[in-house]
A = this chain, B = another copy of it.
């Protein structure tokens, strides 16, 4: 690219080419053209890409775009049934383009005035759907890991002693054994070490056993720990299991403990009248994390960190004395409440997308994903050579193939997963569960149907035989 890299007409022309190629990509994947993923070994992939040598190459943008389209994991392909990352609504990607070009940093209101208002509206919408009362508030941040860390910082600050000012090492979180690894990470970032993570056992559906909470609390106290929070999953990552929120909330109320719900994946189901019961009790949480880039079909990363009492949203980074003295000192200056200082226009993307498409297509998608999970489980239960890890509670289904003649089942699933990866017709992942290694699918594409899943089983049988 020689000449002025800001030239509006060059941008216009290149922009049209990008949009056309991306539209073609959407059309091809919708039609199931080609594989989900063309596998290449990491070393060979790196080798195929020249190092940056400082020279300019005007052909690079379109050439590299074409490589990205050909070599990415194609999430819009209905046979992407792997990780819980969604095929984004194309409109949302256009908002990302807009947000990136305008680059309004949003730490303070004037660095993104309309973007700030959009974030406030999007956060209000999330709080309302959770069933939070008036006065709830929160922020959008860059992903669930950062969101959970932010919520736990608020919880830590609620303990006596002002941890922000005076430090704290003898903290602990009580968390289900099936929780996402970022909860363990957050506790260790806070300086609590492995003794600061007290695992609560799960039942045979991989849900936290609420009746084991008193023992976990006792264990934390025996270790001389102050409990920062009880962390419930709604739902868990590996199997999509919903912890029993009402019983956990009762326990937290009785013991005066902060309840944080990691709803990164499952909180979106509160939009569905049919499935919202799975989240009953979430309105009693002190804080909730909700990823819009999972089941709200936004691109990564856009996560709500939501507080039932909105004043707590100032607690995570309590160095600003304003927090101590005012109720809601500067609701429009988002940087007081997020780990990011410069921040992307997450609210503009979420607000505009929701405004445009409304809730109905999202509810239809959520219900479809649930129905598909149940239908896939039925298929698997009806197949003598497959075994379900548990009846799915959401759109995540874990299962394993049981070949005739038996053998090492874990090794068999791992080998199958590797063959699926190299085959590319489907994208499937794996999970290590207490009973062994399982294949894991997330049904997160509105176009995936039962015929796709029947074909998946046929492909697995083919690869197992081959």
Contacts and interface: CB of A to CB of B under 8 A. Distances in A.
A101 B117 contact: no
Contact of A72 (B10, B104, B149, B164): B104
A356 interface: yes
Contacts of A415: none
A357 B67 contact: no
B357 A5 contact: yes
Tallying the copies of this chain within the complex gives 2
Interface in A42-92: 42, 45-46, 48-52, 54-58, 60-61, 64-65, 67-69, 71-76, 82-83, 85-92
A229 to B, nearest CB: 15
- From A1, A6, A185, residue with most partner B Cβ within 10 Å: A6
A167 to B, nearest CB: 3
A167 B195 contact: yes
A318 to B, nearest CB: 8
A209 interface: no
A30 B6 contact: yes
B191 A116 contact: no
Contact of A85 (B18, B74, B105): B105
Interface string A161-197: 0011111111100000000111011001111111110
Interface stretch (A119-127, A199-207, A372-380, A382-390): A119-127
Contact of A101 (B57, B100, B299): B299
A73 B14 contact: no
Given A68-B114, A72-B104, A185-B319, A52 B191 contact: no
Given A12-B19, A105-B300, A301-B340, 16 more contacts: A6-B26, A10-B90, A11-B19, A11-B94, A49-B114, A52-B125, A54-B359, A61-B352, A85-B342, A142-B146, A145-B339, A167-B188, A182-B341, A300-B343, A301-B343, A301-B344
